[in-house]
Amino acid sequence: EAGVVQSPRYKIIEKKQPVAFWCNPISGHNTLYWYLQNLGQGPELLIRYENEEAVDDSQLPKDRFSAERLKGVDSTLKIQPAELGDSAVYLCASSLSPTNEQFFGPGTRLTVL
Amino acid sequence: GESVGLHLPTLSVQEGDNSIINCAYSNSASDYFIWYKQESGKGPQFIIDIRSNMDKRQGQRVTVLLNKTVKHLSLQIAATQPGDSAVYFCAEKYNAGNMLTFGGGTRLMVKP
């Protein structure tokens, strides 16, 4: 069975440009998470979805970040405009439910120049 | 705010030796703890978990110990192999929020 799929794997952009990340969770997983991971640090939750509903987005910087999960399957995370400090790895994870084990994708490494 | 942290940023061990990775947590309400392994270019991978009503849990070559008195968590890896080289994170969770909070990570380097 395929794991969590993310694309692109790497993205380099100039500051003030927009960028979008895509995530395809494990089939049947209703809960989807987006995390931000800075170098040498643990992942930090940005947003959690239950099906198509965002149930925890308190850590998402809403002035420049947005996310959607149409039809409760795939999800996209967008940054507009990107800032230098947004350089990090953006991880997507999914689980059957909020209390089940989370499975992580490989992440998208974003570099903002 | 309350957080989960690690004592050692880098641990270097000889192949075949046992490894011990430590983690301190400060949220006394946490009732579920997980150890993750993250290899370069990959996402974190579940290793082993433990609930707060236990003080020890064993898996294949790995053991997690929980000391609630001093809020300390450790991961023991027996007969460490080169494939164990990675960054290890502890994470905590409490039912009220179902949110996973990660610590800062320890890099394990296994010398052949």
Taking only the tens place, the pLDDT of each residue in B3-42 is 454 444 899 999 999 999 999 987 888 999 999 999 999 9
Q: Interior CA angle at B100 toward B98 and B106, to 5°?
A: 165
Q: Which of B31, B47, B100 to mutate against chain A (most A CBs within 10 Å)?
A: B100
A25: contact with B, CB 8 A cutoff: no
Determine, for residues B91 and A104 on separate chains, whether the beta-carbon distance falls below 8 Å: no
**What is the average pLDDT across B71-90?**
96
Question: What percentage of chain A exceeds 90 in pLDDT?
Answer: 85
In order of A51, A56, B8, B69, the CA distances from A46 in angstroms are 16, 8, 26, 31
Return d(Cα B110, Cα B18) in angstroms, integer.
10
B96 falls in which pLDDT band (50, 70, 90)? low
State the pLDDT at residue B85: 97
State the pLDDT at residue A66: 97
State the pLDDT at residue B83: 96
Contact list in B for residue A42 (CB cut-off 8 A) is: 4, 89, 91, 102-105
The DSSP 8-state label assigned to residue A63 in this structure reads T
- Residue B43: exposed, middle, or buried by beta-carbon count in 10 A (0-12, 13-18, 19+)? buried
Tens-digit pLDDT profile for residues A50-80: 999 999 898 999 999 999 998 889 999 999 9
- Assigned token pair, A76: 């996209």
